[in-house]
Structure 1
Amino acid sequence: MKWDIGGAPALFLAALVAAAVFGAAVWLWPRLAGRGVRPVLGRAGIQLAITLTAGSALLLAVNSSYGFYGSWHDLLSLRREDPVPAGADASGPGAGAVLVRGTRSWRHAGSEDPAVIGRIEAVTVRGARSGLSGQGYVYLPPQYVHASAGRRAEFPVVLALSGFPSTPGVLIDRLRYPQLALDAVRAGRMRPAVLVLMTPTVAPPRDTQCVDVPGGPQAQTFFARDLRAAVSSHYGLALDARGWGVMGNSVGGYCALKLALRTPDAYRAAAALSAPYAAVRDADTGDLFGGDAGRGQREDLLWRLRNLPQPPVSLLVASSRRGEHQYPATLEFIDAVRAPARAFSIILASGGHNYETWAREVPSALEWLVGRLSPH
């Protein structure tokens, strides 16, 4: 039975406790109706218990729907970096750039054998240029596991980004990237690809939206330069942008489109699910542009498409006619793309800004993205 924060048993237990507390309050309230310190403290305690238990059940229900955190470990570790254990692998030309913290056990299609279903490594990527680091997972398909060092450079690479707030674990537990990739390869719909699964939050708790912040975190540099160099060196993969794609949901989708449009020498194709098309400013982001309105304007993807030359990249956007507030902007984005850029779309009849909708879009978007990558 799964008692993780995103699991149904945890939600059911929280709802059961909330109902029990409410029932106890109804039963005990007449006894606490008098005056005096003890009745007042009793009523206050009951109200506090109702608030806490009902609030916990509500927060678990919201998390179950939107998948912000996949486990209690994800929730507790979001704002800290796990220590790298002694003996962690940091070898190769990019020594220290990719640190393998261990492997994640997983099971799919009746097997747990990495030689059959591939291997998922938990990694910390440390950026030489940006000075930032990010945690995530790298999925190595079974074909990569069996390949010689020389053949590994032939594998395309996909960087998959979650939204904010979130953790890399939801890309495995909720959106099932490795599982879908393995199924697509076995069905002959997709070539084997290495997947790098991360969150765009590389300066927690700040939501940098993959922006190089003046005097602050250089998030774009981390994803466009540092991550690619580190992963390519450590895993023997090609660095050519033609072999690299990026995709994501929500803020991760905005990052994907922006990385392709702003750094086409890093990513030649991008797919975005329910993406906003401009960076926002709120309590989580702070001032991303150092008060420079022009810099903020250039981070607006619709403005870029309409006012700047478009690079030779392929862009896929996904939305829903009903239930998705970004749908009108998605149509504007598609209409604004001009050669040599190319636009593609996945438009559902109905959906929403949630993991249930994104789970319907990921299989087609992933297959589309890998189909546009050619490392050589």
Structure 2
Amino acid sequence: MNIPLTAGAVPVVLLCLGVLSVAWLCWGRGRNLSRAIPLAAVSAAAFTLLLFVLAELVFHWWDASLPRHLYVYTFLAIFAEFLAVRRFLTARGPVGRTLPVLAAFLVLLALFAGVNVAYGQYPTIASLFERPGTSGALPTRAPSSPVPPPAAEAAWQPPPDMPQTGSVFSATIPESGSGYPSNPALIYLPPAYLASPPAENLPVLVLLHGQPGSPSDWFTAGQLAQVMDGFAAAHSGLAPVVVVPDLSAAGAANWPLCLDSNAGRSATYLAVDLPAWVKANLASGLTDARQWAVAGYSYGGTCSLQLAVNFPEVYPTFLDIAGESEPTIPGGRSALVDTYFGGDAAAFTAQNALDKLPTRSFPDSAGIVVVGRDDSVYAPQGQQVYDAARAAGMDVQFQQLDGGHSWTVWKAGLANNLDWLAGRLGILGQ
């Protein structure tokens, strides 16, 4: 069901039903109601304030990019739930008790709709139930000798029975020296890879997710398979092989930030182990680094910059979508240095992109920094990244898209730049 949840009639209807439910819960007369409404309002305000303190000052469940109007939605939802409980306890008969439960449910549904419109996590009803990685066993392929030339649209003739769409597979990419533990990655293989005979030596896009998050977010909220299928349909079935690895170190308490640190050698995993596995098992990206790109949003955008700067010989092409200027954790740089590097600040600055960019030149690297115009937290950091990358000799662009720190920007940041990526990766030529 491709009925949109972030635009159109559905979110408007849900928000209206929520408002009507709050109004109904407040309706009535009598001393009990006149006391209940102020008490519910004060209680809801206290719980909302507590949520703010715990989420943003104590546990840092999310950051300052959270749209502040969502706290208003949260207050109204808690307020409505208090009133619903009162009506349920004082109601008589099954209908009397069912109505406040229904009203409470509609208010929570409206809250979900408001949050979803802000972030775009579930763009359609179907995305609520999608579970990527169900296409069966990954069709592996050993590299042939001699290595075939890089796949390019000008030299590719698709067979008549080529699939119309690509497929998504789940695979564990083992470490081969980094010691990095990983949950399974998700891999998109384009129609040309699945054709018989197939296109050989396709380029590779390593796509990185956010925190909190997982590889599946790119396929549900980001609708990656549909985006890549659309590109492939316009280019004779050709598209990059897309590998979306797990960045959490198999759910570690401290995510390793795409750095080599006391928390694990995730940078080595992403820049050494993963490419070696892809070449050996998918026979893609075999010619040279010009066939490889890294991209990501938010936490993954920060990682894409880190990898492009620390491993330009592996990832000379990058797409930083709403990333930070440097890896961060609650407590700031000093806390990060203590947690990840045992207090050795030099060990961090030796890997931190903005510290490394001024120390060398990157004439062969190119990237795009994408930010949301309404993203007051990450947009200024993106500008800082762009300025530093340009000063270091990178061929970089700075793009502003409508939206905040949400999938409205993250999805478009990739989809809008696929032609540029394909040109850098050789599919469309230089």
* Common fold by TM > 0.5: yes
Decide whether aligned partners of structure 1 residues 327 and 93 sit closer, same or farther in structure 2, where only a CA change above 3 A counts: same
2:207 paired residue among 137, 151, 160: 160
Q: Is the 8 A contact 1:168 1:198 kept in 2?
A: yes
- TM-fit CA distance, 1:335: 3.0
Q: Choose from 95, 98, 117 the match for 2:165.
A: 117
> How do 1:236-247 residues align onto structure 2 when only pairs under 5 Å count?
236-239=283-286, 240-247=288-295
Distance 1:43 1:321, change over 3 A: closer
Per-residue CA shift, 1:298-357, capped at 9, x if unaligned?
A: 343222212345473212212255544433443333333368842322423643222112
Instruction: Identify the residue that residue 138 of structure 1 maps to in structure 2.
Output: 187
User: 5+ unaligned residues in a row in structure 1: which ranges?
Assistant: 35-41, 95-112
Q: Match for 2:349: what amino acid?
A: Q
Query: Cα distance, 1:225 vs. partner?
Result: 1.9
Larger CA deviation: 247-256 vs 180-189: 180-189
Unaligned regions of 5+ residues in structure 2, if any? 36-81, 89-100, 144-160
Structure with the higher strand share, 1 or 2: 1
Q: Distance in 1 between matches of 2:162 and 2:18?
A: 41
Identify the residue that residue 115 of structure 2 maps to in structure 1: 62
Q: Is the 8 A contact 1:119 1:139 kept in 2?
A: yes
Judge conservation of contact 2:205–2:242 (CA < 8 Å) in 1: yes
TM-aligned CA distance change 1:265 to 1:46, over 3 Å: farther
Matches within 5 A, 1:135-214: 135-148=184-197, 151-152=199-200, 154-188=201-235, 191-198=238-245, 200-204=247-251, 205-214=253-262
| Local SS of the residue matching 1:245 | strand
RMSD: 4.6
CA spacing shift, 1:33–1:364, aligned 2, 3 Å? closer
Q: Could you tell me which residue of structure 1 aligns to residue 279 of structure 2?
A: 232
CA contact (8 A) 2:368 2:396 kept: yes
Instruction: Please report how far the alpha carbon of residue 362 of structure 1 lies from its aligned counterpart in structure 2 after TM superposition.
Output: 1.9
Other structure's SS at 2:248 match: coil
Cα deviation, residue 274, structure 1 = 1.4
Query: What TM-score results when the alignment is normalised by the length of structure 2?
Result: 0.63
**2-side partners of 1:176 and 1:368: how far apart?**
19
Is the CA contact 1:126–1:134 (under 8 Å) kept in the aligned structure 2? no
Give 1:280 shift.
0.4
Select the structure that is richer in helix.
2
State the alpha-carbon separation in 1 of the partners of residues 402 and 6 from structure 2: 24
Spell out the pairing of 1:267-306 with structure 2 (5 A cutoff): 267-282=315-330, 287-306=339-358
SS in 2 for 1:227: helix
> How far did residue 160 of structure 1 move?
1.4
1:258 to partner: Cα distance: 1.0
SS in 2 for 1:116: coil
CA distance in structure 2 between the aligned counterparts of 1:155 and 1:122, rounded to whole angstroms? 19
Identity across the alignment (%): 25
Q: 5 Å matches for 1:53-92? A: 57-58=110-111, 61-67=114-120
| TM-score for the superposition, normalised by structure 1 | 0.71
